[in-house]
Structure 1
Amino acid sequence: MNLGRYVRRTSSHQPDAPAVVCGPSRLTYAELDGHSDRLATALRALGLLKGDCVATLAGNRAELVVTEVALYKAGLVRAPINARLGEREVAHLLRESGARALLVDAAHLETVREALPGSGVQTVIGYDGPSDLGSGYTDLLEAAAAEIVDVDCADDDIAVLHFTSGSTGKLKAATQTYGNRAAAMRKMVMGPDTRVGPGDKQILAGPVTHASGMPLMGIFFAGGCAIVLRRWDAGEFLDTVQQHRATHAFVVPTMVNTVLALPNARDYDLSSLRQLIYGAAPMAPQRIRDAWELFGPVLSQGYGCGETTSGVLFLSTEDHRRAIEGMDEELLLSCGRPRAEADVAVVDASGAPVPDGSIGEIAVRGPDVVPGYFNEPDFTAATFRDGWFLTGDLARRRKDGYVFIVDRKKDMIISGGFNIYAVEVESVLHQHPDVYEAAVIGIPDEQWGEAVKAVVVLREGAALGEAELIDFCAGHLARMKKPRSVDFVAALPHNPNGKIDRRALRDPYWAGAERRVH
């Protein structure tokens, strides 16, 4: 197989159709196909062979998309590095991946300069031009021959080293194979809510090196256009929908929150949107209702991760409609039902399925589930069991197949012997009209072991006291679950992928504790 063949095929069908839009950059399918062939040719001329690793470190730009296609064509392993990581993390990833080449933008040259020693990188290519570290991307392409590159790859050949964000400790890479990536492409094309075909335009709002880039090959297979935002800005997002008449978008809940906070959000023409997919973190039911009111009946939700090569559970627009119109309101708390080829189970500690309604851990198997972690046999053995990937998410399954996440295993709060799920408390906090964003953590407590702490960002201009908010929660939660204390902050910390960084929230509270629960 070779995933690049699908770009070439679409290019032969519609060479002048738009394939990629990123700021001022525009690439037709003919240009995407041609540029990726030239880059693949240039990399092979540098001595890179099938299975060699090439790293990238850059903010969103059209060249990152070209690079992804080129590496598929050449049968190379891609190691995308999140552009928000620091020098030590970049150095670690370059060493761990065994990358022989690195493509980098100008904004990260100094980081690379410090991170290169000790790595196996022999070639540095600058997206913004040559530097003392190496040649320029454009020069490389112009010097390369215009020849077709089509290296045949097996299903189990590694395509991508998908590194985690690092918020939970050591950075590790899920080894996404070419078979995994092909399965992810199939699921995008198979789903009526996710297929982006000729004339359609999907906005990719986050880093395309990670979750936001997962739909790319599905878009190119079906002949749609990928609109890549260079950075997240709520106003720019709405303007892009209006200006480009975007039909699809993929965002994370934090992004939705910033859009809903804009006082002029309703001034934009969003009528072209047919699908707004959100995922990567839970979204409070009230925020879902607010988004439905703003964007219209276009919401859908995906649940997945790097180890599952994108979404494996899906809550459709029709599911949202049933919930919002009062036919099944509980669905707003669900992350959906299994989709495409993935099998999803809720299991106990031994791996056996738990009865419907009972809490267990979400486990996934299928062609989109990676075989393990790169050079991490012990961690792989602990996380993969009999072909199933153990996600670390605690959930319950309803008898009709809908899955409801209650918490991460590591985020569960144990207070006085009771299990308290942060997600449940956060859902109540978000129902208060003055709460913009909230996170719940466990903090040390001499009597109970852990106590429930809410960390809250208020809406602009709101005045809300700790006691008032705790009383509000007490009206919706069992007494043991309500927050014992509330800290009001200007902003919550987020990791490089836009998720709330609970570890950063917890650390100050546990710094002086003799025993850490987590």
Structure 2
Amino acid sequence: MNLGRYVRRTTSHQPDAEAVVCGPTRLTYAALDEDSDRLATALRGLGLRKGDCVATLAANRAELVVTEVALYKAGMVRAPVNARLGEREVAHLLRESGARVLLADAAHLAAAQRAVPGSEVTTVIGYDGPGDSGPGYADVLAAAVPEPVDVDCADEDPAVLHFTSGSTGRLKAAIQTYGNRAAVMRKMVMGPDTRVGPGDRQILAGPVTHASGMPLLGILFAGGCAIVLPRWDAEDFLATVQRERATHAFVVPTMINTILALPDARAHDVSSLRQLIYGAAPMSPRRIREAWELFGPVLSQGYGCGETTSGVLFLSTEDHRRAIEGLDEELLLSCGRPRAEAEVAVVDDNGAPVPDGEIGEIAVRGPDVVPGYLNEPALTAETFRDGWFLTGDLARRRADGYVFIVDRKKDMIISGGFNIYAVEVESVLHQHRDVYEAAVIGVPDERWGEAVKAVVVPRAGAALDASELIEFCARHLARMKKPRSVDLVAALPHNPNGKIDRRALRDPYWAGTERRVH
């Protein structure tokens, strides 16, 4: 197997079609194929071979797509470093990955060079030009002969080291194999909602080095165009949909929130969109309805993580329509049903499936599930059991297969002996018209052990009252589940992947306590 062959094949069918658009850069399939061959040849000229690791540290840009394709062609391992990480974390990831070459943009080149000592990196290639530790990207490509590179790979060969901190705060790398990446490609091109073929154009709004980049190989296989946003800006997203006549887009709920907050959101023509896929975090039914009203009947949702390589549960546009039209309103609380080749179960602590309607942990197995974590045998043994990946998400399954997440296992609050699920309380808070964003955590309480606290960001211009919010929750929840206190803040902390950082949110409340439950 060689995943780069699919890019070469699409190039032979439509060499002049656009493959990648990012800011002012527009690459045809012919250019993408040639540039990726040149880069693969150059890396081999540096002594790298199949299985060697190459790291990237850059914000979204077209060259990241070229790099990904080049590494597929050469059978190498890609270690994408999140561009929002600090120097100490970058240095740790370089050492952990064993990367021998690092490609970085101008904004991160100096930090990259400071992070190299102690790692196996011997060359730093600057996407925007040469630096003290190596040549510029353009010079590297110009010096290389564009010979086709096609290294055969096995399903089990590592392809990507997907670094994630999860809820522990500790960076770990899920080893995504070439077989995993091929399974994701099959999933994307087989699904009628996710296939992006000739004439179709998908916006990738988040970092393409991580979740937003998962559709890339499927797009290039089917002959579509990937429109990579250099950075997130709600106004720019709407303008890009209109200018590029985008047919598909992948966003996270926080992005939809910022779009809905724009006073002139309806001034843009978004009629070209056929699919707006959201995922990576929960989205309240209220926001879903608002997005449906703005974008039309184009919403769908995916659920997955780095260990499953992409989405394994899917809530279709038809599911959304049924819920919004009142035929099955509960579906707006669901993350969908299994799709493609993945198997999904809801299990107890012993790994046995729980009856429908009861709460258990989501477990996944299939060709898109990674074999484990890099250099973490104990964590791998704990998380991957009998072929199943244990996600840490608590959920219930309906008889017709729809799955409803109730909380993260580590985010569950135990107050007075009762299990309280933060997501359940947050979903009620998001129903309040003046709540922009909310997170619920457990804080120390001498009587109950933990008490429920809501940390809330008001909508712009809204005058929220904490006691009124508590009473609002009491009207929609059992009284033991309502927040005991509410803190109103200007913003919530988010991790580099855009998710609410509950660990950072909890830490100040637990500082100085003798016992910390999380």
TM-score of the two chains, using structure 2 as the length reference = 0.99
The alignment-based identity, stated in percent, is 86
Partner of 2:456: 456
One-letter amino acid of the counterpart of residue 382, structure 2: A
Please name the residue that 1:201 is paired with. Answer: 201
**Any idea what SS the aligned residue of 1:294 has?**
helix
Answering whether residue 404 of structure 2 is matched by residue 404 of structure 1, we say yes
Check if 1:7 corresponds to 2:15: no
Alignment RMSD, CA only?
Answer: 0.6
Task: Report deviation, 1:313.
Answer: 0.2
The separation in 2 between residues aligned to 1:349 and 1:168, in whole angstroms, is 20
Query: What is the match of residue 149 of structure 1?
Result: 149
CA-to-aligned-CA distance 1:255-312 (integer Å, 9 cap, x gap): 0000000000011100000000000000011000000000000000000001001000
Match of 2:343 in 1: 343
Q: Partner of 1:463: helix, strand, or coil?
A: coil
Deviations 1:180-226 (A, max 9, x none): 00000000011111000000000000000000000000000000000
Look up the SS of the partner of 1:39 in the other structure. helix
Distance 2:208 2:96 in 1: 21
List per-residue Cα deviations over 1:440-469 (Å, max 9, x = no partner): 000000000110000001111111111111
After superposition, what is the alpha-carbon deviation per residue over 1:151-200, rounded to whole angstroms, capped at 9, x for unaligned? 00000000000000465221100000000000000000111110000000
Judge conservation of contact 2:54–2:100 (CA < 8 Å) in 1. yes
Residue 137 (structure 1) shift? 0.4
C-alpha distance in 1, partners of 2:128/2:138? Answer: 8
8 Å contact kept, 1:165–1:496: no
Q: Which residue of 2 is the match for residue 294 of structure 1?
A: 294
Match of 2:122 in 1: 122
* C-alpha displacement of 1:133: 1.4
SS in 1 for 2:476: coil
Residue 306 of structure 2 aligns with which residue? 306
In the other structure, the counterpart of 1:184 is 184
Is the 8 Å Cα contact of residues 18 and 27 (structure 1) preserved in structure 2?
yes
Q: Offset at 1:113?
A: 2.2
Contact 1:165–1:497 (CA<8 Å) still a contact in 2? no
Residue 250 of structure 1 aligns with which residue? 250
Change beyond 3 A, Cα 1:175–1:421: same
**Separation in structure 1 between the aligned mates of residue 254 and residue 21 of structure 2, nearest angstrom:** 23
Shift of 1:110: 2.1
The separation in 2 between residues aligned to 1:482 and 1:471, in whole angstroms, is: 8
For the 8 Å contact 2:169–2:503, the answer to whether it is kept is no
Q: Is the 8 A contact 1:456 1:486 kept in 2?
A: yes
Residue identity matched to 1:56: T
Q: Which moved more, 1:109-118 or 1:260-269?
A: 109-118
Q: CA deviation at 1:123?
A: 1.0
Counterpart in 2 of 1:365?
365
2 CA distance for matches of 1:137 and 1:469?
54
The residue number in structure 2 matching 1:488 is 488
Amino acid at match of 1:313: L
Q: Which region of structure 1 is more displaced relative to structure 2, 337-346 or 111-120?
A: 111-120
- Quote how far apart the aligned CAs of 1:409 are: 0.3
Matches within 5 A, 1:360-509: 360-509=360-509
How many Å separate the matches in 1 of 2:167 and 2:227? Answer: 28
Q: Give the superposition deviation at 1:114.
A: 1.9
User: How many Å separate the matches in 1 of 2:484 and 2:163?
Assistant: 36
Deviation of the 1:88 alpha carbon: 0.6
What residue number does 2:331 align with?
331
Alpha carbons 2:167, 2:410 under 8 Å: kept: no
CA–CA distance in structure 2, aligned partners of residues 262 and 511 of structure 1: 38
**Structure 1 contact 167–495 (Cα < 8 Å) conserved:** no
Q: Distance in 1 between matches of 2:167 and 2:23?
A: 30
**Structure 2 residue runs without a partner (length 5+):** none
Structure 2 letter corresponding to 1:74: A
Note the C-alpha offset of 1:351. 0.2
Distance (whole Å) between structure 1 residues aligned to residue 481 and residue 133 of structure 2: 55
- Aligned residue for 2:174, secondary structure, equals strand
Q: CA deviation at 1:70?
A: 0.1
Rounded Cα–Cα distance in structure 2 between residues aligned with 1:461 and 1:92: 42
Note the alpha carbon deviations across 1:404-463, whole angstroms, 9 max, x for none.
Answer: 000000000000010100111000000000101111000000000110000001111111
Q: Which amino acid aligns with 1:342?
A: A
Residues 370-422 of structure 1, C-alpha deviation per residue, up to 9 Å, x if partnerless? 00001110000000000000000000000000000000000000000101001
What do the CA deviations read for 1:349-378 (whole angstroms, capped 9, x no partner)?
Answer: 000000000000000000000000011100
Q: Deviations over 1:319-345 (max 9, x none)?
A: 000000000000000000000000000
The residue identity in structure 1 corresponding to 2:199 is G
Pairs within 5 Å for 1:229-268? 229-268=229-268
Give a deviation string over 1:457-505, Cα, whole Å, max 9, x none: 1111111111111111110000000000000000111111111111110
Deviation, structure 1 residue 103: 0.4
Which amino acid is 1:58 matched to? A
Aligned to 2:81: 81
Q: How many residues align?
A: 518
Cα deviation, residue 316, structure 1: 0.1
Contact 2:274 2:298 in 1 (8 A): yes
Maintained 8 Å contact 1:202/1:226: yes
Instruction: Say yes or no: does 1:222 pair with 2:222.
Output: yes
Secondary structure, aligned partner of 2:12: helix
Indicate the SS of the match to 2:426.
Answer: helix
Unaligned ranges ≥5, structure 1: none
Query: Is residue 95 from structure 1 mapped to residue 95 from structure 2 by the alignment?
Result: yes
2:38 aligns with 38
Q: Is the CA contact 2:292–2:299 (under 8 Å) kept in the aligned structure 1?
A: yes
Letter matched to residue 416 of structure 2 = G
CA distance in 1, matches of 2:292, 2:425: 23
Asked if residue 269 in structure 1 is aligned to residue 273 in structure 2, the reply is: no
Going from structure 1 to structure 2, the CA distance change for 1:166 and 1:421 (only over 3 Å counts) comes to closer
For 2:33 and 2:117, the matched residues in 1 are separated by 34
In structure 2, C-alpha distance between the alignment counterparts of 1:364 and 1:190, rounded to whole Å: 20
1:203 and 1:422 map into 2 onto residues whose CA distance is 32
* Partners of 2:381 and 2:185 in 1: CA distance: 27
Does structure 1 retain, via aligned residues, the 8 Å contact 2:95–2:118?
Answer: yes
